[in-house]
Amino acid sequence: MQFYSTNNPSYKVNFEQAVFKSLPPDNGLFYPQILPRLDPDWIKNLNHLSKTEIGLMIASKFIGDEIPMPRLAQIVSETIDFDIPLVKITDHISSLELYHGPTWAFKDVGARFLSRCMAYFIEQSNREVTILVATSGDTGGAVAAGFYNLPGIRVKILYPKGKVSDIQQRQLTTWGGNVSAYEVAGTFDDCQYLVKQAFLDQELSQELNLSSANSINIARLIPQSFYYFYAMQQVDSNDQVFCVPSGNYGNLTAGLWAWAMGLPIKKFIAATNQNKVVPDYLTTGIYASKPSIQTYANAMDVGSPSNFVRMLELFKYHHSDMTKRLSGYYVGDDAILSTIKDCYEQFGYLLDPHGAIGYAALSTLLAPGEHGIFLETAHPVKFLDVVNQALGGAVDFQEKSKPLADKKETYQSIGIDFVEFKQVLKG
Ligand SMILES: *Cc1c(COP(=O)(O)O)cnc(C)c1O
């Protein structure tokens, strides 16, 4: 399969190039030349297929023979090497728990797939690469876990000092081996700036063979479509509405792709926090990116969502086609807290702040006869402060967080000056 740039359809690359470039040089996004259609009989038969069989079918449609089948099967099976259960909360609403991977958030899925695809290509060519990422929390941990111990790959992660949660920080700093963490005396934007400068610096970029693992990489999106199929395996009617708590809209794009590939999903809800540019677009037809606002669901504090262009591409820029399939909803901070509390008290189910947005959206928008599935994108332990605030400290997470709390942290503290950073990277 070839992937073209959304800014220039005649610029095309193969899967391997799309993976290592991450972004086309014209700042568009890579988009598959055609979204594969899956055989309707195969889809009817989903219940009889294993998670690996499903993932392999989808992945092979995108990747073709660039990775041999047996190896791709291994990559898929390692990617989803943990439970992805659909848990019923009420008669009408279920939670698709995507947080049973190593760093307790859905980003593990994309990071594991991307890292293993890269490792395959690197093996074939005998080169070494350095993955450089800036993280505001979940991405860095998933990338570190995904790439940990893979041969030929070094990982360098920048995070803003004091601005990630304790658990998130530990998921960045306790690996060792091929993973190095850098605590930056600045904001997430400063971290992103340093990373961007590094990529722009020809000398550095070539010397270290820099590569990115950011969330717009095509190899992170593809496996995120798998779990919509896994959810549909676990339900018996086709009246399913998927509600996707969204920041950069990668998860939602992957879900829309699953539908476009033939999975019979009735509708989608784009649910978010006060950073509501996409819900606003869906109601008004006007898209206006904005500076991001800080909220309790901070993994979705995005004012200019990068995958929105891919959503437009899918619906060929027709607003009315998009709104036939997709509606928007946003939830303020107070409602995040009250939703976590109400859901826990009424049903004994503990939501994280992002999942709470998904649950709240379904509670309001679901029509009679429909069943709603929201993506529970992270384990509540990752957002302990918010959950404690909502519940008045009613839940004890010691058992889950203890093993991590006992590990030794290693990181290097750096400033926000690029020249200095360059020296650090060159070692
Ligand atoms: C990254 C993240 C999101 C947002 O996902 P997108 O694909 O960027 O929309 C939501 N919840 C959690 C916990 C995340 O880490």
Q: pLDDT of 106-138, one tens digit each?
A: 999 999 999 999 999 999 998 899 999 999 878
Order of strands, sheet of 210-211, starting from the edge strand that comes earlier in the sequence: 210-211, 129-134, 153-160, 179-184, 412-414
Q: Which domains does the chain have, with CATH numbers?
A: 84-105+220-397 (3.40.50.1100)
What's the rounded Cα separation, in Å, for the pair 180 and 128? 16
- The enclosing H or E element of 243 equals strand 240-245
Q: Which of 95, 106, 386 to mutate to test the pocket of ligand 1 (most atoms within 8 A of CB)?
A: 106
Q: Decide if pLDDT at 237 tops 90.
A: no
Order of strands, sheet of 8-13, starting from the edge strand that comes earlier in the sequence: 8-13, 3-5, 30-32
Relative to beta strand 93-97, strand 86-88 is antiparallel
- 131 forms beta bridges with 155, 211
pTM over 0.75: yes
Q: Which atom of ligand 1 is nearest to the CA of 354?
A: 11
Are 216 and 3 spatial neighbours (Cβ–Cβ below 8 Å)? no
What's the rounded Cα separation, in Å, for the pair 240 and 232? 8
Among 147, 150, 148, 171, which residue's Cα sits nearest to residue 159? 171
Q: Whose CA is nearest to atom 14 of ligand 1?
A: 299
* Predicted confidence (pLDDT) per residue in 281-302, tens digit: 999 999 999 988 999 999 999 9
Ligand 1 pocket member 138 (CB < 6 A)? yes
Compute, in angstroms, the gap from residue 138 CA to the centroid of ligand 1.
8
Ligand 1 pocket member 358 (CB < 6 A)? no
Compute, in angstroms, the gap from residue 345 CA to the centroid of ligand 1.
25
* Predicted confidence (pLDDT) per residue in 341-380, tens digit: 999 999 999 999 999 999 999 999 999 999 999 999 999 9
- 414 forms beta bridges with 184
